[in-house]
Chains A and B, each alone.
Chain A
Amino acid sequence: MSKTPLLDQLESGPWPSFVTDLKRMAAKKPQVKDLLAQLERSYQEKITHWKHGGIVGVLGYGSGIIGRYSDLAETFPGVEHFHTMRINQPSGWFYTTKALRGLCDIWDKHGSGLLNMHGATGDIIFLGTRTENLEPCFAELTANGWDLGGSGSTFRSPSCCLGPARCEWACYDTMEACYVLTQEMQFDMHRPSYPYKYKLKFSGCPNDCVAAVARADLSIIGVWKDDIRIDQAAVKAYAGGELKPRGGATPYAKLDIKADVTDLCPTHCMSYDGKKLAIDNRNCNHCMHCINLMPQALRPGTETGATLLLGSHAPILEGAQLSWVIQPFIVMESPYDEFKELNVRITEWWAEHGKNRERIGELILRLGMREFLEAAELPPAPQQVRIPRANPFFFWQQSDFDAEAKGRKYYTREGFDVE
């Protein structure tokens, strides 16, 4: 009789079955056999059998390994230790089969042979090994050009959309920016010195394919400042049905340019008279709707860069936040000095004032946006808010009065008033 009757029920059905995949590994690896048996127990008892605890790692690093022990080690000795290793992924998650096989060889030798491509932060996740295997595994990984990612209160492995590698909408080189910043921050990634985790995610345009706005403390989202590029002949072809909406990936055979595109433009800055598509670009809010629907007719402009948004995290502790705009536009070009310097100002302010386990977004809510913006040396800008405050309960600082006395337009610190 099968030892895993409940899990066996997850072998049927059209979607690839992790149970089937794990079972063939179990034939070779006793720890996977025990993993399946313990998982079956969890399915019976509706309870996890993993313990929290046991600080493990590789020499000199305080992150990259997640310690994991079974609470049924006597019954399932193969999963007594089942630590995770986070391996920092290459930008855009591109691989050659040679590189992937190399990783598989290392993991077959030193671990369970189970993995995630990839974890939610972006790293390659090697699932399941014993403490004594960590150091040899790490040595072999680095010998082959791989390194661990972040975990705990560190700079976490940044991730990015594939950007210019394959997407015509990329407004900056997400792949390079991600790589350069990852290299720049190696020390902070591997040695916990922050109040909590800190993540960067790079998306090339407002479609935000890596969900930067929802899951990066600092979200770098590509944007253009000039005009959407229009190919009027292609617009006609969409209107005539020769070109299919969204490259063909919808149930709809043909676009009605007015009903589907211009009427749904959130800023009503477009019009179509049956012949020509017109966009009032100064009033476009870069939502991407029209571009998404007509990829052969429209493209973002050429004066490009990124918007920086800060603060998103999942619900614990103060409730979920989405990142909000802190700098409406920044040029993102190698060597990214402006960005790197700002990133340092942000993390230094947070490291100084943040309480243990307080994300940067929560700290800003506690101390106020002005505190933060001044520390980060960012001027106030209307793009930072959806609407201004609805109350007159605001504060004045001496610097405001000084600015006023000097006849400056904005009551802000020296250097901030651009006008």
Chain B
Amino acid sequence: MSERKTDIGPPHYEQFLPPIIKENYGKWKYHEIPEPGVLKHVSETGAELYSVRAGAARLISTDFVREVCEVADKFCDGYLRFTSRNNIEFLLTDKGKIAGLKAELKKAGIPIGGTGHSVTSIIHTQGWVHCHTPAIDASGPVKAVMDDLFEYFGTHKLPAQVRIALACCINMCGAVHCSDIAMCGVHRTAPKIMHDRLRHLCEIPTTIASCPTGAIRPHPDKSLKSVSVNEPKCMYCGNCYTMCPALPCFDAEKGGIAILVGGKVSNAKSAPAFSRLAIPYIPNNPPRWPEVVAAIRNILIKYAEGANKWERLGEWINRIGWEKFFEVCDIPFTFQHIDDYKFQAYDTYRTSMHFKF
């Protein structure tokens, strides 16, 4: 057997760049978006690169990848890339081939869009397909929401771009906390302690240390060699379960989805911002989560109607005020909306007379 290779790192990107990019690397002058889903980049040398952006599920098969490869061979000399939001970009230089490429994608059921003032693909996590702590599935709600908002994927109808994201539990692997609209799976049940298993499976000090709110204590009955959970202090994060499998905190009936809104990452006009809680809980309703779909559509429509040109969702809310946002979207304001988690809470309390009735 040949020597075992390790630590070689990823292949160098240059071998994957189409010739036009190698020739114009760092020389791009400007871009246009002649139609939804089609980007045209023009170099100082006059060279023109076209990128056709297409949406895909995040969970895909090698069959699908091979299909996409066939399209890229036929129209793009075998060059393509993916965006940070799981979109596929077909790279080509011959403008004449765009129509054929679009037709081929259409035939394959692959939508074109995700540019400019659109709703692009939803960043999301694994859910019931692969993770041990989700409250909800990921691919399913994403599919349901994208079906509903499909008209916004291939158009530029909105006041600004709208980024949607989903995380299936509050660990928020997908970093959904800076999205225009974020769905976040939430548990609402404190862990059930399986004392018999805990004794054998878990190390008590690390289990106690895992809890961000300090809700876990050694069990008063020392002979149990177990822990107790102060339920009112528990925020159902599942950290303890990650440390100790004898502390499951799932509850089929109480789990659900929270909606947070108004975050962004770019610096354009206003600074990057966190998403803030809009709806603390919507029941977990597979396979198509209709209440979640409706809630997101409602917020999107109200935003599209109310926002000024170029205003991101959070910028619109900051202008009108959160109290107006709740009124306009007809969302009830609850105790859950008022932050009481650690040091960031105070920052959110209003210390001025600047508010509306």
Residues of A within 8 A of B (CB): 6-7, 9-10, 12-19, 21-22, 24-25, 32, 35, 39, 42-43, 45-53, 59-61, 68, 82, 84, 88-101, 103-104, 107-108, 113-118, 120, 122, 127-128, 139, 142-143, 145-147, 157, 159, 161-162, 164-168, 170, 173, 175, 179, 182-183, 186-187, 190, 206-215, 244, 246-252, 260, 264, 266, 286-289, 292-293, 295-296, 299, 314-320, 322, 356-357
B199 to chain A, nearest CB (A): 16
Q: Which residues of B contact A179 (CB under 8 A)?
A: 9-10, 12-13
- Cβ–Cβ contact B245 & A51, under 8 A: yes
Query: Which interface residue of A19, A113, A116 has the most chain B CB atoms within 10 A?
Result: A116
A287 touching B137 in the complex, CB below 8 Å, given contacts A97-B80, A147-B8:
no
Stretch of B58-66, B94-102, B218-226, B325-333 at the chain-chain interface: B58-66
Known: A98-B78, A266-B269. 15 other contacts (CB 8 A): A10-B144, A17-B57, A39-B129, A39-B137, A59-B4, A90-B13, A165-B21, A168-B29, A179-B12, A187-B7, A208-B272, A246-B33, A248-B35, A251-B157, A289-B268
B217 touches A (CB below 8 Å):
no
- Cβ–Cβ contact B9 & A22, under 8 A: no
Q: Which residues of B contact A89 (CB under 8 A)?
A: 10
B236 touches A (CB below 8 Å):
no
Q: How many A-B residue pairs have CB under 8 A?
A: 365
- Cβ–Cβ contact A16 & B110, under 8 A: yes
A243 to chain B, nearest CB (A): 9
Q: Which residues of B contact A322 (CB under 8 A)?
A: 178, 272, 274
- Cβ–Cβ contact B11 & A186, under 8 A: no
4 shortest interchain CB distances as A-B pairs: A249-B116, A13-B147, A215-B175, A206-B267
Give the residue of A43, A164, A292 whose beta carbon is less than 8 angstroms from that of B28. A164
- Cβ–Cβ contact B245 & A53, under 8 A: yes
Query: Which interface residue of A13, A161, A168, A187 has the most chain B CB atoms within 10 A?
Result: A168
- Cβ–Cβ contact B115 & A18, under 8 A: no
Nearest-CB residue, chain B, relative to A128: B130
Name B's interface SS. Answer: loop
Nearest-CB residue, chain B, relative to A51: B132
Residues of B within 8 A of A (CB): 4-13, 15-17, 21, 25-26, 28-36, 39-41, 49, 51, 55-66, 68-70, 72-73, 78-84, 86, 88, 109-111, 115-118, 123, 125-134, 137, 139-140, 143-144, 146-147, 150, 153, 156-159, 170-175, 177-178, 209-210, 212, 237, 239, 241-242, 245, 250, 252-253, 255, 265-270, 272, 274, 284, 286-288, 309-310, 341-344
A178 to chain B, nearest CB (A): 8
A293 to B160, CA, bound (A): 11
- Cβ–Cβ contact B287 & A99, under 8 A: no
Q: Which residues of A contact B70 (CB under 8 A)?
A: 97
Q: Which residues of A contact B88 (CB under 8 A)?
A: 117
Q: Which residues of A contact B66 (CB under 8 A)?
A: 101, 104
- Cβ–Cβ contact A293 & B310, under 8 A: yes
A288 touching B16 in the complex, CB below 8 Å, given contacts A15-B146, A213-B272:
no
- Cβ–Cβ contact B250 & A48, under 8 A: yes
Q: Which residues of A contact B131 (CB under 8 A)?
A: 48, 50
A173 to B21, CA, bound (A): 13
A319 to B65, CA, bound (A): 38
- Cβ–Cβ contact A113 & B86, under 8 A: no
- Cβ–Cβ contact B26 & A142, under 8 A: no
A95 touching B342 in the complex, CB below 8 Å, given contacts A293-B310, A314-B177:
no
Q: Which residues of B contact A314 (CB under 8 A)?
A: 171-173, 175, 177
Query: Which interface residue of A68, A90, A157, A318 has the most chain B CB atoms within 10 A?
Result: A90
Q: Which residues of B contact A246 (CB under 8 A)?
A: 33, 116-117
Nearest-CB residue, chain A, relative to B210: A357
A147 touching B9 in the complex, CB below 8 Å, given contacts A16-B111, A264-B269:
yes
- Cβ–Cβ contact B144 & A167, under 8 A: no
A43 touching B137 in the complex, CB below 8 Å, given contacts A92-B81, A120-B174, A127-B129:
yes
A233 to B62, CA, bound (A): 49
